[in-house]
Amino acid sequence: MIVHKPGDKEAMVLEEVRRRSGAISGKRRLLYSLGIFLVGIVALEMVARLLPSPARPPWIDRRRALDWDYLKRHAVPVSFEDRGSYDPFRPFRADPLLGWTLQPGLELSTVNIRNPNEKQEALRWRFRVSEQGFRSPPFTPRPRAGWWRVVVLGASSGFGFGLNETRSFSDILRRRMRSEGIEILNLSVPGYSSEQGRLFAAEHLKDFGPDLVLFGLGANDDQVALAPDWAILSKSKGWLTTLQKLFQQSALYRMVKDMILRWRLERQEVKEAPPMLRVNPDRHEENLLRVWQMTRKSGAKLALYSLCFGDSIRESQGRVAAELGLPRLDLDAVLNEFAKTVRMRGGKVMAGEPGADSTDPELTIGRWTFPRQEIDAVQRLWGAELEAKPELWAFQADKCHPNGLGQIVAAQEFLPVIRRMKEESSRR
């Protein structure tokens, strides 16, 4: 039997009190420290909100390099040099699922920096986005009764980059075909790859109820990248998407991410591209197959078009179209054919040769018809350069995005395809 001395019990009680008070004090210190940390974060967030926003949105980082040349010419100069009012990233906002989307309600007067400096102001254009986040005028979620809805899903060429919205082939078609009960929606987003197009179709296509989808994504697929789009975008699902959305609301998070990007860009040379594409040809074919499956499931038809595609991606699209029996327009070939035709015939016609009325508001060249003012405008803009660079009849100076004439050519090529597919649908 253990016998405690008279003072032992009191000592044990005191020891227990000290232990418990120490534990309580530890919890208080922890809570106190946590409170200071949270107050500090809130204070830093308030300061970050008062500071100017970074010129570049959060999705432009080294993991999602659209291509190294783009990063070198756009992300670095816009971030670290004064480029005046030009900001190529202002039209976009970060999106956890798709990488980026257009800023709803934006109207921006801008230029295409790939055009020669002396032509910049003459080629200034309006970058307008509706409140719904697309270039199309406002539209109802579902087609109106009796109307046949066509959705154009492309990248910058489908968007009509470098031109006011009324000059894009989508808007030309919209005005031309509404008397036939056909509604055209332009849901194109500059910079999108076929991977983003597949994700967009899976997430949103059912919301718009299209009868026909004109799918023209692929021009950005063969851009070099640090990681393929599927590896990056596949991370943006489920609870991670929700968490990313919360973080993107924080000005402090965006500022810290911008500082990290600046540090990484200053430390590393942006010279050599890694041997990786945003979307390789095999993945491109898989994306087209997935989009075809989704359109079939929804009861819609699918047609493909290529514009500013690299050779390997164009060939992949051609194989898929042939295997699935899908209509396909190679607009690169069409626009180059048009440019050569104008070069051979346009000069004589515009000079007032016999058989051509110089006052006629419309001019027919080959199988295409144009407002004479469009042809005159191209001739005034480029003059003698057109002889050495006939592609300027159809393309902007970047040799990728169609000019006003090129958009008219594209619209006239789409007209019979859309009408034929609508007629086929009505017979079923």
Quote the DSSP letter at residue 146.
T
- The pLDDT of residue 116: 78
DSSP state of 354: T
- Eight-class DSSP state of 72: I
Handedness of CA 190, 192, 197, 202 (dihedral sign): negative
pTM (2 decimals)? 0.74
The pLDDT tens digits along the chain (428 residues) read 555 555 566 666 666 656 666 555 666 777 878 888 888 888 888 887 787 655 444 334 333 344 333 433 333 322 222 333 445 556 777 777 887 888 898 888 887 767 777 887 888 888 889 999 999 999 998 888 889 999 999 999 999 998 999 999 999 999 999 999 999 999 999 889 999 999 999 999 888 999 999 999 999 998 877 668 887 776 545 666 667 667 767 878 877 876 765 565 555 544 444 457 889 999 999 999 999 999 999 999 999 999 999 999 999 999 999 999 999 999 999 999 999 888 776 544 444 443 455 566 788 888 899 888 888 889 889 888 888 889 999 999 988 999 999 999 999 999 999 999 999 988 76
- Rounded to whole angstroms, the Cα distance separating 197 from 221 reads 11
Q: Which residues contact 94 (CB under 8 A, 6 or more apart)?
A: 57, 58, 59, 100, 248
Q: Which of 203, 210, 207, 202 is nearest to 141 (CA)?
A: 207
**What pLDDT sits at residue 211?**
95
- Both tokens of 193, joined, read 């790859």
Give the pLDDT score at 269. 43
In terms of Cα–Cα distance, which of 173, 209, 168, 212 is closest to 188? 168
pLDDT at 357: 52
Domains in the chain, CATH or no CATH each = 62-427 (3.40.50.1110)
- How buried is residue 65: exposed, middle or buried, by Cβ count under 10 Å (0-12/13-18/19+)? buried
Helices (H), 87-185: 156-159, 169-177
pLDDT at 421: 95
Rounded to whole angstroms, the maximal C-alpha distance in the chain is 131
